[in-house]
Amino acid sequence: MKAWYAMLGIWMSAVIYEAFALPEIRGLVGHPIAYFHPPIAIVTFIAFLVAMIHGLRYLRWNDPIHDVKSSKAAEVGLLFCFLATVTGAMWSKANWGTFWSWDPKQTSIFVVLLIYAAYFSLRSSTPNPDRRHRLCAVYTVIGFISAVLLMFILPRIGFSLHPNDAMMGGGSDRPVRLLFWASVLGFSGVFAWMMELAVKLALMEMKIKEMSQ
Amino acid sequence: MTKSSLSGRKRNPSFWRSIGAIFGKDLASELRTRFAVNTLLLFSVTSLTIVSFSTARTPLTKEAQSALLWIVIFFSAMTGLARSFVREEESGTADALRLTAPAESVFLGKFAFNCVLLLCVEAVVVPLSLIFWAVSVDAPLFFTVVLFAGNIGLSAVATLMAAIVAQTSMQAGLFAVLSFPVLIPLLFTAVRATLLSMDAVRQVGEIAPVIRMLFVFDIVMLTLGFLLFDYIWRDRK
Amino acid sequence: MSTSLTVTNLCKQFEHRVVLRNVSFSVANGHALVVTGPNGSGKTTLMRILSGLMLPTSGAASLEIDGTVVDFDERRREVGFVTPEVHVYPELTPVENLKFFHTVRGLEWDEAEAAHWLRRVGLDARRDDPVGNFSSGMKQRVKLICALAHHPSLLLLDEPGANLDERGRESLSGMVEIQRKRGMTIIATNDPKELTLGDEIVALRA
Ligand SMILES: Nc1ncnc2c1ncn2[C@@H]1O[C@H](COP(=O)(O)OP(=O)(O)OP(=O)(O)O)[C@@H](O)[C@H]1O
Ligand SMILES: [Mg+2]
């Protein structure tokens, strides 16, 4: 396990170093942030996908462990989502001159932020634990599907599209693409690590509560 | 428990009758108390008046008009559509319903009732706003279809969220908080479609895809509701 | 038709409070069972589990009709449940309530039978009043007939005598007698007068 953490640390340091070291790409301003914002946004969606999958597993098996995992994935996901919103605004400023430009991706990230903020207010206002687990699991499913629908719908109803897909596809050079996906992988690792810590902590808290009763 | 009600049972006539019974029961209660419809109509007319009054001097753009129309409809929905479930839990009849009715019928019956309530709101808000804002709708047929499709999606999500908030401790505030982000895809699309239907130069080719998106949302949310409602409705422990 | 209810090692725990521990009993067709126990001993909890509203932490309660176990979806037709926390619709009249519960259960509606039930509990004069305006004993009568009118195989009565007067109690014991002819009855009560309604008594400890 320790070796994994060490590797994750080295990996992320390398990604960060390279992001600043690589020369700027033509037509893509706001240079180093371009290697952080889209990967963080992608990991945000992965986090909420994980939250939904654990939510569905809770509904199937009724085991509180799935609720712990689902809620912790959403918690860490919310942090990533917040970072994605902030880095997105910075990038938008560098690229298009305004912090906020309501392009489909920026809008989706913002709506996802709202969905999961609502998720946590639902959690805190349902005192009965079984009910809380059940209702929250259902909400992760509805919330995720709605976010996916939004991403599907927005470009189709005439929201203006900014060309920021350049890096994922074939349009850019090999090192740029490589670094991009290395960054996605690195941030996914960071997410998995944070989620694991959060789940461990929550399980310990549960045990302490059980013992003190 | 393991045999979930999602399994493909045959839908016999009694299934449709039970939906009808739940819808009819809610309608009868509503006609006697007039609670939800009064709140809905008062709220929608009040907010519409405030908006129209405060913008009387500045002509609204069509973008603003269609956005405001949906904002008024959305918030009116949020004041009244949770009522039928909240009342069910408050008066201790929810368990009676759980014991006697299939979960899917409860969802569809309440959904139908919420659709009708929202239709009442639209029947008042839409003509009034057209008059107040001197809007000209160039494609009235499309406009009606948009209202109809928006109504279905809004009611479907509101019914699900109402069933959720009825089981929590802070019903009124939470309802809008939970529903709004989930409804954003619908609201954005509906505003866009309304705008297109107000504009004379638009072609069918431009409006049709947007309306299709509305129906995609409706179908997805109704399916999701149908599949998930049992989990919202019944305790598993 | 033979029906039976078998409860084996039923346990129920709320968070860390154990309410029911290894409750086992069985009831056969035509029998009535009385469940007693001090306040908070878990009578209502047991009844909720038997009705299907709540799941046990462990153990099982299985209702069998002609050798096949009744699942939750069929229970709605086979079980009738009266308990202090579950109410009928206050905006509707007794007849409308009866009709509503009948229809959502998927059963055919019979006007004449409704009239018969209303007469049995002495409410035919108030048949067109909303239940919300009734006295608590009258509401209890409506709850009773809504749980009975579909001829359940298993009738669960939690404190059925609550708020009932002498005549109400008489018609209650009449109903239990009728129920003996078509299925099982379980009565949860602490009222000494109701203890005699059953053939057997199960006592829960606090
Ligand atoms: N939903 C719940 N959550 C937590 N505890 C509960 C819940 N329902 C019941 N209990 C607890 O279970 C215990 C038994 O309650 P129950 O209502 O079954 O008692 P009872 O035998 O019906 O009492 P009474 O004679 O007063 O009606 C009580 O201690 C109660 O606090
Ligand atoms: Mg009790």
**Whether the Cβ atoms of residue A51 and residue A73 lie closer than 8 Å to each other:** yes
Range of the domain at A130: 32-196
Higher pLDDT, B10 or A2: A2
Q: Which tens digit of pLDDT belongs to each residue from C35-44?
A: 999 999 999 9
pLDDT of amino acid B136: 82
| Total domain count, chain A | 1
* In-domain check, residue A19: no
- pTM here? 0.92
Q: With respect to residue B78, please indicate whether it lies within any of the assigned structural domains.
A: yes
CA C188 to ligand 1: nearest atom: 22
pLDDT given at position A36: 84
A163 within domain boundaries: yes
| pLDDT tens, position by position, B84-128 | 899 999 999 999 999 999 999 999 999 999 999 999 999 999 999
Residue A21 lies in a domain: no
pLDDT at A29: 54
Interface check for A153 against chain B (CB to CB < 8 A): the answer is yes
Beta bridge partners of A144: none
User: pLDDT value at position B5?
Assistant: 38
Give the DSSP H/E element, type plus range, for residue A17: helix A2-21
Domain annotation covers residue B130: yes
Q: If you ran DSSP here, which 8-state letter would residue B92 be given?
A: T
User: pLDDT tier at B1 (50, 70, 90 boundaries)?
Assistant: very low
Q: For residue B121, give the nearest of B165, B72, B174 by alpha carbon.
A: B72
Inside any domain, residue B7: no
> Residue B189: inside a domain, yes or no?
yes
**Is residue B165 over pLDDT 90?**
yes
Tell me if C56 CB under 6 Å of ligand 1.
no
Q: Which residues of chain A have pLDDT under 70?
A: 23-31, 158-174
For the stretch A139-197, pLDDT in tens is 999 999 999 999 888 877 766 444 444 444 445 566 777 888 888 899 999 999 999 99
Strand C68-69 and strand C184-188: the pairing is unpaired
Q: What are phi and psi of B159, to 5 degrees?
A: -65, -45
Average pLDDT of every residue of chain A: 85
C45 CA: nearest ligand 1 atom: 18
CATH fold of the domain at C30-52+73-203:
Rossmann fold (3.40.50)
In this structure, is residue B65 part of a structural domain? Answer: yes
8 Å CB contact of A127 and B184 = no
Structural domain containing residue B180: 13-235
pLDDT, tens only, B172-210:
789 999 999 999 999 999 999 998 888 766 667 788 888
- Cα separations in angstroms, A102 against A88, A155, A159, B53, C117: 11, 12, 8, 29, 64
Q: Tell me, what's the pLDDT at B202?
A: 65
Q: What is the DSSP letter of C161?
A: T
- Distance from C-alpha of C131 to C-alpha of C113, rounded to nearest angstrom: 19
What pLDDT does residue A30 have? 56
* B214-227 pLDDT tens trace: 999 999 999 999 99
Question: What are the backbone dihedrals phi and psi of residue B157, each rounded to the nearest 5 degrees, phi first?
Answer: -65, -45
Task: Return residues 118-147 of A near C (CB < 8 Å).
Answer: 129
Torsion sign (Cα): C97, C102, C104, C109: negative
> Do B118 and B77 meet the contact criterion of CB atoms below 8 Å apart?
yes
Please tell me if residue B217 touches chain A, with a CB cutoff of 8 Å: yes
Q: pLDDT tier at B4 (50, 70, 90 boundaries)?
A: very low
Strands C68-69 and C58-65: antiparallel
Average pLDDT over residues C125-130: 92
| pLDDT in the model for residue C21 | 93
Residue among B170, B181, B193 whose CB faces A125 most closely: B170
User: Which chain A residues are Cβ-neighbours of C15 within 8 angstroms?
Assistant: 129
Q: Residue B57 falls within a domain, yes or no?
A: yes
- Select from B127, B132, B135 the least CA-distant residue to B200: B135
- Residue C61 makes CB contacts below 8 A (sequence gap 6+) with C5, C6, C7, C8, C10, C49, C50
Confirm whether A107 is domain-assigned.
yes
pLDDT (0 to 100) of residue A133: 96
Closest CA to A44 of A142, A113, A103, A92: A113
- What pLDDT does B62 receive? 87
Share of chain B above pLDDT 90, in %: 66
Does the beta carbon of C42 lie inside 6 Å of ligand 1? Answer: yes
Pocket flag, ligand 1, residue C39 (CB < 6 Å) = yes
Label residue C142 by pLDDT band (50, 70, 90). very high
The answer to the question of residue A15 being in a domain is no
Nearest CA to ligand 1 atom 18: C42
Q: Is the CB of C4 under 6 A from ligand 1?
A: no
Kindly calculate the radius of gyration of chain B based on its CA atoms and give it in whole angstroms. 19
How far C203 CA sits from the closest chain B CA (Å)? Answer: 24
Q: How confident is the model at residue B2 (pLDDT cuts 50, 70, 90)?
A: very low
Residue B26 pLDDT exceeds 90: yes
In a domain, A124, yes or no: yes
User: Is A206 inside any structural domain?
Assistant: no
Element holding A202 (H helix, E strand): helix A174-211
Residue C156 Cα, ligand 2 centroid: separation in angstroms?
A: 12
Number of domains in chain B: 1
pLDDT number for residue B201: 66
Query: What sign has the CA pseudo-torsion B1, B3, B8, B9?
Result: negative
pLDDT digits (tens, 9 = 90+) for C6-61: 999 999 998 888 999 999 999 999 999 999 999 999 999 999 999 999 999 999 99
Q: Is the pLDDT of residue C146 over 90?
A: yes
